A and B are shown apart, each in its own frame.
Chain A
Amino acid sequence: MNKSRAPLIHITKRKTMPWYCAWGVRGAAIVAALIACAVVTMFMTGENPIAIYAAMLKGAFGTTRKLWILGQNIAILLCIALALVPAFKMRFWNLGGEGQVLIGGLAAAACMICLGNRLPSGLLIAVMTLASIAAGAVWALIPAVFKAKWGTNETLFTLMMNYVATQLVAYFVIIWESPKGSGKIGIINQTTGIGWLPQIGGQKYLLNILVVAMITVIMYFYMNYSKHGYEISVVGESERTARYVGIKVERVILRTLLLSGAICGVAGLLLVGGTDHTITTTVAGGRGFTAVMVAWLAKFNPVGMVFTSFLIVFLGRGASEITTIFGLNHSYGDILTGIILFFIIGCEFFINYRLNFRKSAGKEAANV
């Protein structure tokens, strides 16, 4: 080699980008994602991509009912994601959201079934609330105790707790099945409505949305302005530093996971007591895991998570609409969601790094 050549591409770290540029890049990524989806759609199905996008929008926003369902789904997903935030900020990878929601829901259902005829509805709802929160909190506390005392791997532990919760729910579904032999519980207290969370303004989903909105605001302040929030960040960033300044790391882990589990318990309560009025093993519907993505996409910022949970729910609802309208396989919706998420996550690279291409030989010579 007689001529020196720079590498074709070399990657350098950017200085911090102003926020409007960063959001510009993210916006461009979404546009690019939509174009990529359109190309893929035309190529694979021959449908008009514009019509497909229109159907997605209609699926999500088309009717008042659809809007309410969108809101409800965002609320529950956001609620679970908010629950994960304090744990994740502490670098405690709580993948047990699914199980914590299930067990919270199971506690609420148990109260409705066993205490339905003995307590007035108002008191029952109070008991349900406490029971759900306690159940979710305990479910998160068990792995936290093991992590704090013996340093076990929380990722595997919380994951396994999900299966335990699912099996427990399956067991109780058989015990409480109604009608007998149906293999499911059916609507609990269908005639009396005892233990059903109250409807605000006649809207079935409004209460859930308001509760989650409240949790969002509280979580934002808890994480950013409270002493607890500060302790959580210190423990997450450097356990050694935390010990050195006298933070009791074990206590912070237990306290934070109690909170994380408790909020998952609330999500379970809202699902069982507020909307479904029954319980199945799929009541959480994988949202314990989707919530992980919601939290990461927004970099654990509760306000940002409102947008990311909206995005994910919107994509999901839109995708299921196009599968029905165009008679496409349900996987097709997943493909589109995957493409869009790929672009959104990938664009973070361009926000943090710059690509330098090798200058052409002529230009190089001119520079010398």
Chain B
Amino acid sequence: MDNKVAAVKMRDITKTFGATVANDKVWLDIYRGEILALLGENGSGKTTLMNMLSGIYFPDKGQIFVDGREVSIRSPKEAFDLGIGMIHQHFKLVDVFSAAENIVLGLKGSGRLDIDEVAKNVKAICEEYGFEVDPYQKIYDMSVSQKQQVEIVKVLYRGADILILDEPTAVLTPQETDKLFAVLRNMRDLGKAIVIITHKMHEVEELSDRVAILRHGSFVGDMLTKTTNAQEMTNMMVGHAVVLDIDRPEPKDPKPRIRVEGLTVRDIEGVVKLDNVSFTANSGEILGVAGISGCGQKELLEAIAGLQPIESGSIKYICDDGREDELIGKDPLSIQSLGVSLSFVPEDRLGMGLVGSMDLTDNMMLRSFRRGRSLIADRKTPKKLAEKVVEELEVNTPGVSTPVRRLSGGNVQKVLVGREISSAPTVLLTAYAVRGLDINSSYMIYDLINKQKEKGVAVVYVGEDLDVLLELCDRILVLCGGKVSGIVDGRGASKRDVGMMMTRLGGAANE
């Protein structure tokens, strides 16, 4: 290892945003023929560091060497010229263009564009590394995993041999993840340098050759993956010992709380998003919802919360005394005022659920500001609530009058969840509650959800990490293309089976 020349050497890299130090004198080496996993909690500066390598940000201080030569990377184009390419978490593709068109987009060339020539080159790259991309297929026809492959091919087409992937598996099923890993290993064996940013320990262990760990913007250390383990890496990331088990208390006295029957929902374009979905959510129980993204999870939660027009079916709320209330046809406000409290943690935290430019106090008010007959809005109670949430959930914020947009993802999520559970709900709907959160914050959220369950709340947990779903949930509802593929018991279900059910109705049983 010592005789290898580092493909990229970063030395004393410092970057600040206003008062926040995102990176503080970070050292990082990236080698060819190696997969490096970059680990760190939310806000530890992983993405910032990689953005500086790919020309999106420019470091305040420090030096970057590529193949031993000092360089300055002032734009993504200069990064490409040095062979550095980044695949971002959010794909940057034009939907109505084909794969090949997206791949050549922005490249200089002779006056005439020969798309067949491009397609041939794309095919060659695909064959070399094992991608399955049809150059003529339009982006809007592609699955998430195919789009991701197009992004990777795009970077390779531009001649990159240092690839950075920002949380590439966040949107993939286990099977797709395996495929991606196979391709990445291929690329490594062909001498590319690969950096992947991730939160998932088991992926680090499975895929990477070396790990580098950042904590609060500083470089903590790097080591060979085979000489370490998940526990040690987590402790280094967090800075103290963490217990890596999720509790799953037995449900106490579960009773039906929400009964959904034959629910069918179409979106604005008339596409069926939910097709004849039926299930029951019990009090004191966590019902997980698994599925590839866009399989109707969002519509399901929005339908229960009264935000989604429904084509047919029924959603019944069952009170403690056995009385049933039909929720369909009620607006969110009347669902609340009926005494039916649905706490909905939406998928898109800042776009829905919180107002980014408002401070913590004003965001706490969103649920409660109508209380009382006075024309003047009460800000004292929400302020107290905000202070309580900050203290109890250890929200990292300068104060309760800071706009939530300035907080990091984990803290934003804590504010939202804190507000939602403060109203003592009987049903808690959560969507991707830990998306983008680091280990420490994630475990805190699992803990909060478990506490709600113990209080007798019926929790519906839409998640994307199957490992977590299998550890946390009592039962798991698997959606596939808007249909119920099956409901399995969280205890004893295997990841492989659930993965199969996500991609095919009924899963392995139908094979």
Contact = CB atoms under 8 A, between A and B. Distances in A.
A6 B61 CA distance: 10
Interface string A234-266: 100110110111101000000000000000000
A4 B72 contact: yes
Interface residues of B, number: 39
B362 interface: yes
Contact of B369 (A3, A15, A227): A227
A15 B375 CA distance: 36
A10 B58 contact: yes
A12 B356 CA distance: 21
A313 to B, nearest CB: 31
Contact of A241 (B16, B19, B336, B353): B353
A203 interface: no
B333 A246 contact: yes
Size category of the A interface is 20 to 34
Interface in A90-132: none
A234 B366 contact: yes
B18 interface: yes
B58 A6 contact: yes
Interface in A195-250: 225-231, 233-234, 237-238, 240-241, 243-246, 248
Contacts of A228: 375
B356 A240 contact: no
The majority secondary structure among interface residues of chain B is loop
B43 to A, nearest CB: 16
A66 interface: no
A246 B331 contact: yes
Contact of B353 (A16, A231, A244, A356): A244
A14 B18 contact: yes
A363 interface: no
A131 to B, nearest CB: 26
Given A6-B72, A227-B369, A241 B354 contact: yes
A6 B59 CA distance: 9
A213 to B, nearest CB: 21
A22 B34 CA distance: 50
Most chain B CB within a 10 A radius of its CB, from A225, A230, A233, A237: A230
Nearest to A237: B355
A245 B367 contact: yes
A6 B16 CA distance: 16
A15 B16 CA distance: 10
Interface string B56-86: 0010100110000011101000000000000
Interface of A: 3-7, 10, 12-16, 225-231, 233-234, 237-238, 240-241, 243-246, 248, 356
17 contacts: A4-B72, A5-B72, A6-B72, A7-B74, A12-B16, A14-B18, A15-B19, A227-B375, A233-B358, A234-B358, A237-B355, A237-B358, A241-B355, A243-B307, A244-B305, A246-B336, A356-B60
The 7 closest A-B pairs by CB, nearest first: A246-B333, A15-B18, A15-B19, A246-B332, A4-B72, A240-B352, A237-B355
